[in-house]
Structure 1
Amino acid sequence: MALQKLAKLAHLIDKEGIYPKEILKQIAQNGDFAALQSRADLYQAIENIAKISKICGTSGFCMWCQFAIIYYLINSDNTELKNELLPKLYSGQILGGTALSNPMKAFAGIEKNHLKATKVEGGYIINGNLPWVSNISEDSVFGAIALDDDNTPVMGVIRVGDNARLKSSIKYSALEGSATKSVVIKNYFLSNNDILSQNIYEYLVRITPGFILLQTGIAAGIIKASLEEINKSNASHADINSYLNFDFKSLQNEYISLLNLVQNLAKNIDNINPLDILEARLLGSNLTQKTTSAAVLFSGARGYLESSKVARLQKEGNFVLIVTPSIKHLLKEISEVKAGRGCIKSWKSKQAI
Structure 2
Amino acid sequence: MLDPVLSHWLETEAEALDLGHSDPQTVLSQLAAANVLRVGVDPALGGSGGSVVDAIESVASVASHSLASAFVFWGQRAFIEYVLQSPNKGLGERLLPDLLSGQLAGATGLSNAMKFLSGVEALQVQARAEANGWSLNGRLHWVTNLRKSGFVVAATIDREEGGTPFVLAIPDALAGLTRSADLQLMGLQSSNTAAIDLQAVQVAEEWLLHDNAKVFLPAVRPAFLGLQCAMAIGLARRSLNEAQAHLQGPRAGLLELLEEQRAALESHVTALKAGLLDGRFLTQPAALFKIRIALAEATASAVQFELQASGGKAYLSAYGSAFARRWRESAFVPIVTPSLVQLRAELQRQSQASAQ
Pair in the same fold by TM > 0.5: yes
Question: Following TM superposition, by how much is the alpha carbon of 1:193 offset from its aligned partner in structure 2, in angstroms?
Answer: 0.4
2:87 and 2:28 mapped to 1: Cα distance? 28
| Contact 1:76–1:196 (Cα < 8 Å) also in 2 | yes
Which of 143, 168, 172 does residue 160 from structure 1 map onto? 172
Superposed CA offset, 1:122-149 (max 9, x none): 1111111111010112301111112012
SS of the residue aligned with 1:96? strand
| Contact 2:145–2:193 (Cα < 8 Å) also in 1 | yes
Aligned twin of 2:113 = 103
TM-score (norm 1): 0.90
| Contact 1:296–1:311 (Cα < 8 Å) also in 2 | no
1:141 and 1:20 mapped to 2: Cα distance? 16
Which of 270, 273, 276 does residue 263 from structure 1 map onto? 273
Runs (5+) with no aligned partner, structure 2: 43-48
Q: Note the 1:164-313 alignment, pairs <5 A.
A: 164-168=177-181, 170-235=183-248, 238=251, 242=254, 247-269=257-279, 272-306=283-317, 307-313=320-326
Letter in 2 for 1:60: A
Aligned twin of 1:35 = 39
132-141 or 197-206, which deviates more: 197-206
100-109 or 49-58, which deviates more: 100-109
Aligned twin of 1:345 = none
1:169 and 1:93 mapped to 2: Cα distance? 20
1:310 and 1:41 mapped to 2: Cα distance? 32
| Contact 2:75–2:108 (Cα < 8 Å) also in 1 | yes
| Contact 1:36–1:71 (Cα < 8 Å) also in 2 | no
SS of the residue aligned with 2:122? coil
| Structure-2 change in CA distance of 1:201 and 1:103 (3 Å) | closer
1:192 and 1:40 mapped to 2: Cα distance? 31
2:199 and 2:172 mapped to 1: Cα distance? 12
| Contact 1:40–1:266 (Cα < 8 Å) also in 2 | no
| Contact 2:67–2:231 (Cα < 8 Å) also in 1 | yes
SS of the residue aligned with 1:68? helix
Q: CA RMSD in A?
A: 2.1
SS of the residue aligned with 2:155? strand
SS of the residue aligned with 1:297? helix
| Contact 1:19–1:178 (Cα < 8 Å) also in 2 | no
Aligned twin of 1:346 = none
2:52 and 2:181 mapped to 1: Cα distance? 32
Aligned twin of 2:46 = none
* Identity level (%): 26
167-176 or 125-134, which deviates more: 167-176
Aligned twin of 2:145 = 135
**2:324 is aligned with 1:314:** no
Aligned twin of 1:68 = 78
| Contact 2:60–2:231 (Cα < 8 Å) also in 1 | yes
TM-score (norm 2): 0.89
Q: Note the 1:14-33 alignment, pairs <5 A.
A: 14-33=18-37
2:198 and 2:290 mapped to 1: Cα distance? 35
1:180 and 1:305 mapped to 2: Cα distance? 30
| Contact 1:128–1:184 (Cα < 8 Å) also in 2 | yes
| Contact 1:219–1:284 (Cα < 8 Å) also in 2 | yes
1:236 and 1:179 mapped to 2: Cα distance? 44
| Contact 2:156–2:213 (Cα < 8 Å) also in 1 | no
Aligned twin of 1:334 = 347
**2:64 is aligned with 1:54:** yes
2:103 and 2:7 mapped to 1: Cα distance? 19
2:182 and 2:108 mapped to 1: Cα distance? 19
Superposed CA offset, 1:297-324 (max 9, x none): 2222221234522221121111111000
